[in-house]
Chain A
Amino acid sequence: MRPGPEADGEIVRAVLAGDRERYARLVERYRDRYARYAARMLGSADAAEDAVQDAFVRAFDQLSQCKDPDKFVSWFFLILRNRCFAERRRNRTESSLEAAESVAAADRTDGGAEAGERRRALQLALMELTPDQREVFVLKHVEGLSYGEIAERLSTSVPSLKMRMHRAYDTLREQLREHK
Chain B
Amino acid sequence: MSEHEFHPLVKQLLDGDITLADLPADLRAEGEEALRLLAAVDRSVVSVPAVTWRVMAGLEQRRRRVRPWLLAPALALAAALLLWIMPAKPAAPALVTVRFVLAAPDAHEVSLAGTFNRWDSHATPLVRSGPTGVWTATLTLPAGQHQYAFVVDGVRWVPDPGAPAVDDGFGRRNSVLTL
Contacts and interface: CB of A to CB of B under 8 A. Distances in A.
Contacts of B58: 53, 57
Nearest to B50: A49
A6 interface: no
Contacts of A166: 6, 8, 11
Contacts of A49: 48, 50-51, 99
Contacts of A31: 48-49, 51-52
Interface stretch (B32-40, B105-113, B116-124, B152-160): B32-40
How extensive is the interface on chain B, given as a class? 35 or more
B37 A176 contact: yes
Interface string B85-105: 000000000000001000000
Given A21-B56, A118-B36, A170-B4, A40 B42 contact: yes
A152 interface: no
A114 B38 CA distance: 15
Interface residues of A, number: 47
Contacts of A20: 59, 63
B56 A123 contact: no
A115 B40 contact: yes
Nearest to B47: A32
Interface in A17-58: 20-21, 23-24, 27-28, 31-32, 35-36, 38-40, 45-46, 48-49, 52-53, 56-57
Contacts of A60: 55, 59
Contact of B4 (A21, A103, A177): A177
A142 B43 CA distance: 5
Contacts of B5: 170, 173
Interface string B49-74: 11110111011000100000000000
Contacts of A153: none
Nearest to A167: B5
Interface-centre pick from A21, A31, A40 (highest chain B CB count, 10 A): A31
B45 interface: yes
Nearest to B56: A24
A32 B34 contact: no
A122 B59 contact: no
Max chain B CB contacts within 10 Å: which of A35, A45, A46?
A46
A119 interface: yes
A94 interface: yes
A82 to B, nearest CB: 17
Interface in B122-179: 129-130, 136
Interface of A: 20-21, 23-24, 27-28, 31-32, 35-36, 38-40, 45-46, 48-49, 52-53, 56-57, 60, 94, 98, 103, 106, 110, 115, 118-119, 121-123, 141-142, 144, 147, 162, 165-166, 169-170, 172-174, 176-177
15 contacts: A20-B63, A27-B52, A32-B45, A35-B46, A36-B44, A103-B42, A110-B44, A115-B40, A119-B41, A122-B40, A122-B42, A144-B43, A173-B6, A173-B33, A174-B4
